[in-house]
Chain A
Amino acid sequence: MKRPVYLDYQATTPVDPRVLDAMLPYFREDFGNAASRNHAFGWKAEEAVSKGREEIGRLIGASEKEIVFTSGSTEAINLALKGVADMYGSKGKHIITSQAEHKAVLDTCKHLEKQGFEVTYLAPDSTGRVTVEAVAAVLRDDTILVALLWANNEVGTLNPIREIGALCHERGVLFFTDATQAVGKVPVDVEADNVDLLCLSGHKIYGPKGVGCLYVRRRKPRVRLVAQMDGGGHERGMRSGTLNVPGIVGLAKACQLCREELEVEAARASGLRDHLEAKITGALEFVHFNGNKEHRLPGCLNLSFHYVEGESLLMGIDDIAVSSGSACTSASLEPSHVLRSMGVGDDLAHSSIRFGIGRFTTQEEVDYAADRLITAVRRLREMSPLYEMALEGIDPSTVEWQGH
């Protein structure tokens, strides 16, 4: 077993060797610019891109003309939200999203608020899920867009996309979903799921970093966007810039593998995740599950360990790569906004760990990680004044603390 053990698949994934093999020729002999229309180098690149569009479309039920390549999900989110706002702003100024979205959505919405748009930030339920009823309750005549992620990147909770999409279509409101974590892990079908705009990213699905795409619906309804970058008018005018041909080939290959192996992979990842959870909760008391047991990503497990601070826990399992919602591990020094939006207290947010299981995770790695974690939690609890209080029967949440 190689160490450190990588259990952070929601952060990024290694490129699948089959993906890399598919990409390599497009760095070397087939290096042409897909926009060169007058020679074989260009034709070859254009052909690869065109096949790539089809392959990506196949994974999400879209046609090749509905795929707009970007540098990744953040750019696709910016293009979708700002592009819709610019195009449809005269129709209405109201946008609905949720507090549990990725920062790329939240910060773009904040930007739009400064431009005069009004944004409703729905609080998810305690499992991180936004219900169709919650969306229905805040839909207005001037709502132009609903933007909700498919699978939450921190807790893995899946939103009821199909139902919310149906509601949006019924009300004539565009529906964007950030499916960065969902695509390739759970079935996604933009037709059946009533999605108008969707983003995905290569590096979350064993493809390369720096490439992703935005799906833009062409029929019923035809979605139009105002481009956010000026230039050569690539991607039917929606996103200028020379296409990243090797990246697109890699993204397409990654999508093909995900499509072919989705069921098997999802079952395997769920199995390992459940094994990890059972092992940890079997050995430790005071473990809090963050997320939704029913509607969840296969490879994501988020747990809070009462009375132990997340960063010190990460130090204790320093040959295992995981993430924590602790403020101490974030650049902003704020605990996870996702856990906060779910009503998880800051004390538990500081104690949260996200385990991400993926294509190359082995049972041996999961067992090793669980053992290391259990040992570290026990050791840190031995030196935790909060654990001592809990054992004495004092609930630390009832104590009046003097924060600093």
Chain B
Amino acid sequence: MAYSNKVLDHYNNPRNVGALDKSSQEVGTGVVGAPECGDVMKLQIQVEGDRIVDAKFKTFGCGSAIASSSLATEWVKGKTLDEAAAIRNTEIVQELSLPPVKIHCSVLAEDAIKAAVEDYKKKNIKAAPATTEAQA
């Protein structure tokens, strides 16, 4: 199978490989996929206020899965939580020129972003009602 130059670039020089402190209140972690299916993505975001200031990933999967998650970390940085959650897998497909059999890699990346955002929101939900009460 021939890979696009962008997939090869992300595979050979993945951006933002690593881990953030998952116990930190400022960090949201999304883990999606399953080893039996041949791909697992872990995507983490660090949030300040409403904005993602850093992102890291680790991926077990094919080259397209690695490239999709690498691209996802690049894209979410600097975005607000809502903007990040609005990233669609089709944009990833387009950017990386993924063939049809690799579309699931982009879906997984989209899911990983959403899961990380969800995790961050869940972690910080306790703080949220307190604020609401205070405002009320």
Q: Which residues of A contact B (CB under 8 A)?
A: 307-312, 315, 326-329, 333, 335, 345-347, 350, 382-388, 396-397, 401-404
The 8 A CB mask of B13-33 against A (1 = contact, 0 = none) is 010010100000000000111
CB-based contact A309/B36 at 8 Å:
no
Interface band, chain B:
20 to 34
C-alpha spacing A215/B43, complex, angstroms: 57
Q: Which residue of B lies closest to A331 (CB)?
A: B101
Q: Which residue of A lies closest to B36 (CB)?
A: A346
Q: Which residues of B contact A (CB under 8 A)?
A: 1, 3, 8, 11, 14, 17, 19, 31-42, 57-63, 65-66, 101, 104, 107-108, 111
C-alpha spacing A345/B64, complex, angstroms: 23
Instruction: Rank and list the top 4 A-B pairs by shortest CB-CB distance, nearest first.
Output: A401-B34, A347-B35, A385-B42, A346-B36
Contact A312:B35 (CB < 8 A) given known A383-B66, A386-B60: no
CB-based contact B31/A385 at 8 Å:
yes
CB-based contact A404/B36 at 8 Å:
no
CB-based contact B42/A309 at 8 Å:
no
Contact A404:B58 (CB < 8 A) given known A326-B38, A328-B38: no
CB-based contact B61/A401 at 8 Å:
no
Give chain A nearest CB distance to B54 CB in angstroms.
Answer: 17
Partner of A383, one of B1, B14, B32, B38: B14
Q: Which residues of A contact B31 (CB under 8 A)?
A: 385
C-alpha spacing A299/B107, complex, angstroms: 40
Contact A315:B35 (CB < 8 A) given known A383-B58, A385-B42: no
C-alpha spacing A327/B107, complex, angstroms: 18
Q: Which residues of A contact B34 (CB under 8 A)?
A: 401-404
Contact A312:B66 (CB < 8 A) given known A346-B36, A383-B17, A384-B58: yes
Contact A403:B37 (CB < 8 A) given known A315-B3, A382-B17: yes
Contact A350:B35 (CB < 8 A) given known A311-B62, A388-B58: yes
CB-based contact A311/B63 at 8 Å:
yes
Q: Which residues of B contact A388 (CB under 8 A)?
A: 19, 42, 58
8 A-B residue pairs with Cβ-Cβ distance under 8 Å, sorted by A, are A309-B62, A315-B8, A384-B60, A388-B19, A401-B35, A403-B33, A404-B32, A404-B108
Q: Which residues of A contact B104 (CB under 8 A)?
A: 404
Partner of B101, one of A315, A333, A384: A333
Q: Which residue of A lies closest to B33 (CB)?
A: A404
Give chain B nearest CB distance to A350 CB in angstroms.
Answer: 4
CB-based contact A347/B41 at 8 Å:
no
CB-based contact A385/B60 at 8 Å:
yes
C-alpha spacing A253/B21, complex, angstroms: 65
| Most chain A CB neighbours (cut-off 10 Å) among B1, B19, B36, B108 | B36
CB-based contact B33/A396 at 8 Å:
no
Give chain B nearest CB distance to A195 CB in angstroms.
Answer: 38
Q: Which residues of B contact A386 (CB under 8 A)?
A: 35, 40, 60
CB-based contact B32/A312 at 8 Å:
no
C-alpha spacing A307/B36, complex, angstroms: 11
